[in-house]
Amino acid sequence: MAAQSTDAKIIAAFSDLALKYGYQGTTTKKIAETAGVNESTIFRHFKDKRTILERIINDYLDDVDQVGQNFQHSGDIVTDLQRVADIYNEFVQHHKVVFLVGVRESYQFPEVGKALQKLPVRFVSLVKNNFTKMQAEGEIRADIDTDSEAANFVLMNFGNAVFTFSYQTAKMAIPMTSFKSENVQAFAAHLKTH
Amino acid sequence: MAAQSTDAKIIAAFSDLALKYGYQGTTTKKIAETAGVNESTIFRHFKDKRTILERIINDYLDDVDQVGQNFQHSGDIVTDLQRVADIYNEFVQHHKVVFLVGVRESYQFPEVGKALQKLPVRFVSLVKNNFTKMQAEGEIRADIDTDSEAANFVLMNFGNAVFTFSYQTAKMAIPMTSFKSENVQAFAAHLKTH
DNA sequence: TATGCATGCAAGTGCTTGCTTGCATAATAT
DNA sequence: ATATTATGCAAGCAAGCACTTGCATGCATA
């Protein structure tokens, strides 16, 4: 294990705790314990607690405008939507602190709420463009409303992500492999030209 | 406006604030101000802050096992799913405090998390039963996987509910009328026998 | 060897939180 | 009329919070 910088240790501890207890429930004392660092050290590295979150948000902001940018259009609707679901899921997992704080505590962090809004916007347009292309190719039906379908698909992925985080302890969450092979597959099959 | 009992005023104030600021962000001082009641009065009516929430959870629990019980099967898939979406939405609106605290702060309230899990379970089975019946009637396709379709529909409604609450200030939320006439309609149309 | 930097440690500060207490007052029920 | 009940009010308490400060210590660099 590579030696972690103090900054990194603090951010890792903060992230761990924020997932479990939320931002408000994450105290600087607990961050210090978890990071194996003195509490005062935290404030030598970060002006205040909020600044730790802001650093994490900045990482997210660096990524969000590029997500799905290198998406590979396969020509098959099922494959494509499964890829999109994967990209969405990986992005959310990678930025789960921002995602969860945004969903849970955006009333405290308008900035996080605003930042998070970019996600559905980007994915809806990604999916919608894909649908339009596939309609032209004759892969999917011409008579569908691409706006509604794209919104539905993103809502489904969003719902699944929130559901997974909220209920992961309860074994109710759908494993990603099943979500793709069953749920996404079922959704995609309906769009296919027949 | 009918004179509200002190209990009711406190619960109403708590609910208002919990929606805006979450449970942790709802202080007894603010509850008192909002309810127009002295802070000490709160503790004469409720053992502690948590008990206020518990009262609200009990109301939810009284309802959740009966939701959708009097659902009227119309025979038309679009109509039926629109009705289900309505029932889901009304239930969530009516119990939004439990819904939101459950989504946001279930790590603090395992009881709320557990209580909330009943919702998707109930709706999935409601929708699935409906699908099975409609397949027998020839209204919807026989070759669909009713489990996946029901899960997708509930995920979509859940996602939309969370999304609406999180982003209602940002004008990004989908109005319920559009959600029904466009999103639900698109979903349902795919299931129909052709 | 000397200098600077990052950290630990211990103490503490001011604020907010949930919650309590004792007493005065007014309305309500008997 | 008397007793009971509900409330307001003011003060306060213990705990937890984010954050600060001063000093000692070790480590790396010059």
User: Residue range A158-166: average pLDDT?
Assistant: 95
Predicted confidence (pLDDT) at residue A168 exceeds the cutoff of 90: no
Strands of A55-180 (E only): list them. Answer: none
ipTM for the predicted complex comes to: 0.93
Domains of chain B plus CATH, in order, are 6-46 (1.10.10.60), 58-189 (1.10.357.10)
- In terms of Cα–Cα distance, which of B164, B80, B58 is closest to B129? B80
Kindly indicate the confidence band of residue A58, based on its pLDDT and cuts at 50, 70 and 90. very high
A21 touches strand D (CB under 7 A): no
A72 touches strand C (CB under 7 A): no
Shortest CA gap B43–chain A (Å): 24
User: Residue range B110-136: average pLDDT?
Assistant: 94
Which tens digit of pLDDT belongs to each residue from B50-82? 999 999 999 999 999 999 998 999 999 999 999
pLDDT at B179: 98
Predicted confidence (pLDDT) at residue A1 exceeds the cutoff of 60: no
What is the DSSP code string of A135-171?
Answer: HHHTSB-TTS-HHHHHHHHHHHHHHHHHHHHHHGGGT
Predicted confidence (pLDDT) at residue A30 exceeds the cutoff of 50: yes
Which tens digit of pLDDT belongs to each residue from B5-56? 999 999 999 999 999 999 999 999 999 999 999 999 999 999 999 999 999 9
Query: Residue B23 contacts by C-beta under 8 Å, 6 or more apart in sequence?
Result: B53, B101, B104, B105, B108, B109
- Which of A117, A172, A190 is closest, CB to CB, to B172? A117
Predicted confidence (pLDDT) at residue A3 exceeds the cutoff of 80: no
Nucleotides of D under 7 A from a protein CB: 6-11, 16-22
Predicted confidence (pLDDT) at residue B126 exceeds the cutoff of 80: yes
Give helix B6-21 / helix B28-35 axis angle, nearest 10°. Answer: 120
pLDDT at A140: 93
